[in-house]
Structure 1
C-alpha cells in the first residue's frame, strides 16, 4: 500500500505559526523537532522573527487589498 502524506503527523512552528509535517530525516528525532525551518533555530533570528513575520503577512495581504 502506498504511503499517504495526509497520514503524516504535523506540528506547528512556534515562530511563524505555520504547520509542518513529519519528514523521513526527522524520523529518529521527531519529538525534538520544534521549528519548520533551520533559520528559526538561530538565536538572533528569534529577536527579528516578529518583524519578519509581519513583513511576510503584509506582502501576502497587500496585493489583495482594494483601494
Structure 2
C-alpha cells in the first residue's frame, strides 16, 4: 500500500464504543474482521459469561 494521508485511509465504527477508527498497518491482513478500536473495547465487549470462565 502506498503512503496516503490519514484522511484517505478507510475507517470503521467500533462495535463497542461506536467511535470511528482508522485503518492501521498491523490490521492490513484482516481489516475485514477488525471490529474494535482498541484492546480495551474488545475486552469490554465480551459477554459476562466469558469473564467468569477465565
Query: TM-score normalized by structure 2?
Result: 0.70
Structure 1 segments of 4+ aligned residues over 3 angstroms from their partners = none
Rg larger in 1 or in 2? 1
User: SS of the counterpart of 2:36?
Assistant: coil
Q: How many residues align?
A: 46
How far apart in 2 are the matches of 1:2 and 1:24? Answer: 11
* Contact kept in structure 1, 2:16 and 2:42, CA below 8 Å: no
Query: TM-score normalized by structure 1?
Result: 0.58
- When residues 2 and 15 of structure 1 are mapped into structure 2, their CA distance, relative to the original with a 3 A threshold, is closer
Question: Structure 1 or 2: larger helix share?
Answer: 1
Gaps of 5+ in 2: 48-54
